[in-house]
Amino acid sequence: MGSHSFAPGSSALAVLACFLSVAVICNGGTTSPFVRKIWPSVDMPFDSDVFAAPTGHNAPQQVHITQGDHVGKGVIVSWVTPHEPGSNKVHYWSEKTGRKKHSENTVVKTYKYYNYTSGYIHHCTIKDLEPDTKYHYVVGSGHVRRQFWFVTPPEVGPDVPYTFGLIGDLGQTLDSNVTLTHYQQNPYNPKSVLFVGDLSYADDHPLHNNLRWDSWGRFVERSVAYQHWIWVSGNHEIDYCPEIGEYTPFKPYLHRYEIPYRESNSTSPLWYSIKRASAYIIVLSSYSAYAIYTPQYVWLQEELPKVNRSETPWLIVLMHTPLYNSYNYHYMEGESMRVVFEPWLVQYKVDVVFAGHVHAYERSERISNVAYNITNGLATPVSDPNAPVYITIGDGGNIEGLAKNMTEPQPEYSAFREASFGHAIFDIKNRTHAYYSWNRNNDGIATEADSLWFRNRYWDPVKESS
């Protein structure tokens, strides 16, 4: 199931769909009528080739990497061995020097979840890497040695170009596979993924079948073993299930995904920040306390003034639940966090907020609703040049299917929305300009259904037009 052929006649349907996809202009922005969903919303079977485990006894699997420090000179290499701990070493060398090194700075974790026992989950942190350098690395040893590579981000600086990919709510269906394939074939050649939460959807299976966490880890290895994916937690990471005695929120997620949160003085892996090239990325947790006086609130209050836009002009915030969402799915679920955090997002001129959760695509105008205080009646969002653009990109294509039902008419704050699966890229050119594009699935790898030239809110805060 690694590749697919379209059914006979689908090309004719595609032409018809294109012909019919005349945008409907409401009093808001654009509601695209383009909906082409091909695959049923079921997870790929366990014997699919995308889930195949590597051969050899106890071979490392589910290899994945993420940033390992605050500035991008560190990496965390993670992998799972199914039967015994095996080697805890990561051997690595840069392509420039070829000088071999190894790290044993590895923690090994296991966990139980109801009747499931995990394999041995390894997390090895490597620091002080050279910037903008290709490294090869090896996990496992002997006949189960596996070799991969990654490229470190360039040194942090204000005009450093860098291309991020954006994926959310991916799951492990045939649509998920199409999304990941399209991402990997994106002609802008994105360098790392900002993943806005909801990874495996294991909790949609009986007893939260954690074998689906393992299969997801094997499915995405083809990208995340080679590129840093930056993680955000979603509701499908909570895995809170008292009916079966599972009371610890985020247990599978936090055992499997190691986050460098202490590097940004956070007290929880669920909220943290990193710098990468010319971007400062703040990750928030929609499912942790965020009201005034809570740890997340206090952390963000202290974090935002630290962002130096002369060093990292692009301020990007990631969360799972969108603060602005005009679909009839999860409608206003982000409202309580919006009330708490939106004044800061405007005050600190956040460029863009990416979220997932709603299984469709939406991009907002630059709007704010900070004037509203319950009694003054100013409840309608207004145009605000200091406000972020809010983008919902929960369209990875998971077992729960597509969100097709929208509020009507389209609100004025909503610039573009479409009920299709896909992924996006955020292509930073310099301190003033970044090219953003959203690519819908089922339309070839290079088709952009929505795009915007972002102008940096700190250096070049002019009005953008798509």
Binding site for Fe ion (CB under 5 A): 198, 234-235, 357
| Contact in structure between 35 and 419 (CB atoms under 8 Å) | yes
| Contact in structure between 446 and 422 (CB atoms under 8 Å) | no
Angle at 252 between CA 249 and CA 254, to 5 degrees: 75
Instruction: Give residue for tokens 């930073």.
Output: 428
Q: Using CA atoms, how far apart are residues 161 and 352, in angstroms rounded to an integer?
A: 17
C-beta closer to Fe ion: residue 139 or 283: 283
Q: What is the b/e burial string over 367-378, where b = at least 16 CB atoms within 10 angstroms of the residue's CB? A: bbbbebeeeeee
Strand duo 433-440 + 448-455: pairing: antiparallel
Q: Is 320 a catalytic residue?
A: no
Which of 64, 123, 208, 330 does the annotation list as catalytic?
Answer: 330
Min dist CB 320 to Fe ion, Å, is: 6
C-beta closer to Fe ion: residue 171 or 313: 171
Min dist CB 236 to Fe ion, Å, is: 6
| Contact in structure between 152 and 129 (CB atoms under 8 Å) | yes
C-beta closer to Fe ion: residue 152 or 233: 233
C-beta closer to Fe ion: residue 77 or 393: 393
Residue closest to Fe ion (Cβ): 357
- The kind and range of the H/E element at 212 are helix 211-224
Min dist CB 439 to Fe ion, Å, is: 21
C-beta closer to Fe ion: residue 169 or 351: 169
Min dist CB 220 to Fe ion, Å, is: 17
Residues 6+ apart with CB under 8 A from 36: 13, 14, 17, 420, 442, 443
Alpha-carbon radius of gyration of the chain: 22
Min dist CB 194 to Fe ion, Å, is: 16
Catalytic residue annotation: 330
